[in-house]
Amino acid sequence: MRQVRTLGLLGTGVIGGGWAARALHFGVDVLAADVKPEMEAWIRGAVANAEGALSRLTFAPLPPKGKLSFTTDLEQMARSVDFIQENIPEQLELKQRILAQVSRQAPRDVVIASSTSGLMPTDLQRDMRFPERLLVAHPFNPVYLLPLVELVGGKATSTEAIEAARRFYTYIGMHALNVRREVPGHLTDRLQEALWREILHLVNDGVATTGELDDSIVYGPGLRWAGMGTNLIYHLAGGETGMRHMLRQFGPCLKWPWTRLEAPELTEQLIERMVEGTQQQAGGRSIRELERLRDDYLVAIQQVLRQFNLGAGATLRGLEERLYEASAAAARGTLAAAGAGEGAAAPLRLIETVVRPEWVDYNGHMTDSRYLQVFGDATDALLRYAGVDDAYRRSGRALYTVETHVTHQAEARALEPIYVLSRVLEVDDKRVQLFHTLHRGRDGVQMAAAEQLYLHVTTTAGKASAMDGGVRSRLAALAAAQARLPLPPEAGRLAGKAAR
Ligand SMILES: NC(=O)c1ccc[n+]([C@@H]2O[C@H](COP(=O)([O-])OP(=O)(O)OC[C@H]3O[C@@H](n4cnc5c(N)ncnc54)[C@H](O)[C@@H]3O)[C@@H](O)[C@H]2O)c1
């Protein structure tokens, strides 16, 4: 199957817009196709809306954004993309007809995935050409922030198509959950529906309002669910003997049972109660306002979970590792040539980025902490080249920052292209001294300089230690190659260095 450079979207409503925002953000071009020409303006608006929260999800270096194009010609889209995500309305016959039509145009090695919330892939692939490349890839709203995507194969689906889909979704920061067997509603919507059915019963019976029922989740189980699911949580609730005790204690209630299997009749009265209840909860806030609030806390929760390497936070860590590695890989050729003494007179251009709007403070200039972040990214690329990568850190060794001296010289404004030049000033067994300058992309003007001292540490013992011989020799080769460059005027200001 193909490497995905251009994602084709079939249907550009709520879900199509979410896919577009996510793919574009991580550097994939998008060709969006919808039967309604007015959806072009809609999808561009949806992408712009998503960007605020998405851009705060990670500060790892991102590739240049993808390009968004729009067409009403579904077949032309199918002929020109590497992967197709279908997001048209949830009607089996419509999906079957459009998928069959598109499959006659898309080359055989183009995976076609359906966002369907509950239809079965075997039914969807029935009339398709090359049905083995069809699978269900069910995302969650907002697609640009929630990492879960359920992958479900039908009778004809090949493992190759599922694997190619998994690779693509992981690349754009998602957690692909393989559903072993196709069932209506897949996994998550079955669970969500069970909860919703009980909500409808409780409202219908006048037991609780929509607000009270939401409180019953938000203040309790909802907080637990973000990090551990129901099963692991119940295992903890059973004390020392865990799940076995839990089942013994609560097993009998499952026979009563507390809950209903059929949803209640959707009478006008029930619909009124649900609508009035949720309007009261919204308290006059518009859908857009509530979406912004939801997006902001979804970003914050994922960042907290990242600290624990748990659930969606673990997915975010994996994504960041890939982004740092990609940025280091882009710089590796330059570093290797410099280490071998070729083109040694120049400092190394390792980071190219733009000042993101959220990096700017109330003065309209890049805020202090972002300078450290950009210099830190350049250090990361340089050290990864030298061999200090994730595996090295997992072996219990790392380089800790001992001191940083930043000189600010000119302001950087939002969306301004910038780049960093780096060099190794000195290295010994335990220490390495780096020097970076930050430049404005349009005229090369130097905006800041940073001199940094790092100490090699064995993390388990919390003690300074000698770095790996290979790491040291790669850093030393760079230092030697750059030694002929004049010492920058901003260098030599580290207090720690002077004291030695
Ligand atoms: N909304 C959700 O929360 C959610 C979550 C996960 C999955 N899904 C699934 O995603 C799919 C789309 O849902 P949505 O909420 O984005 O719907 P939507 O109504 O917002 O968007 C559907 C889009 O498809 C377009 N369309 C209709 N017929 C078409 C055709 N023949 N060719 C091309 N485009 C066509 C419409 O113009 C519209 O823009 C459904 O299968 C749904 O089950 C929805």
d(CA 370, CA 233) in angstroms, rounded, equals 39
State the virtual CA torsion across 43, 45, 48, 53 in degrees, nearest 10: -90
The pLDDT value recorded for residue 144 is: 97
**Average pLDDT of 392-401?**
93
Q: Ligand 1: which atom is nearest the Cα of residue 17?
A: 16
Cα(91) to centroid(ligand 1), Å: 10
Spatial separation of the C-alpha atoms in residues 330 and 63, rounded to whole Å: 10
pLDDT classification of 499: cutoffs 50, 70, 90: very low
Lining ligand 1 with CB less than 6 A are 10-16, 34-36, 39, 74, 87-90, 98, 115-117, 138-141
Residue identifier of the C-alpha nearest atom 7 of ligand 1: 117
Distance from Cα 473 to the centre of ligand 1, integer Å: 56
Q: What pLDDT does residue 325 have?
A: 85
Q: Tell me: the pLDDT tens digits for 150-191?
A: 999 999 999 999 999 999 999 999 999 999 999 999 999 999
Nearest atom within ligand 1 for CA of residue 114: 41
Would the pTM count as exceeding 0.75? Answer: yes
For residue 9, the CA-to-ligand 1 centroid distance in Å is 11
* Lowest pLDDT segment from 26-35, 36-45, 383-392: 383-392
Give the distance from CA 366 to its chain's centroid. Answer: 24
Q: Which helix (H) or strand (E) holds 74?
A: helix 74-80
Instruction: Ligand 1 pocket test: pick from 115, 136, 196 the residue with the most ligand atoms within 8 Å of its Cβ.
Output: 115
Q: How far is the CA of 446 from the centre of ligand 1 (A)?
A: 49
How confident is the model at residue 344, as a pLDDT? 52
pLDDT tens profile 132-144? 999 999 999 999 9
Cα–ligand 1 centroid distance for 115 (angstroms): 8
Report CA(15)–ligand 1 centroid distance (Å): 6
Q: How far apart are CA 153 and CA 186, in angstroms?
A: 11
User: Is a pLDDT exceeding 60 seen at residue 498?
Assistant: no
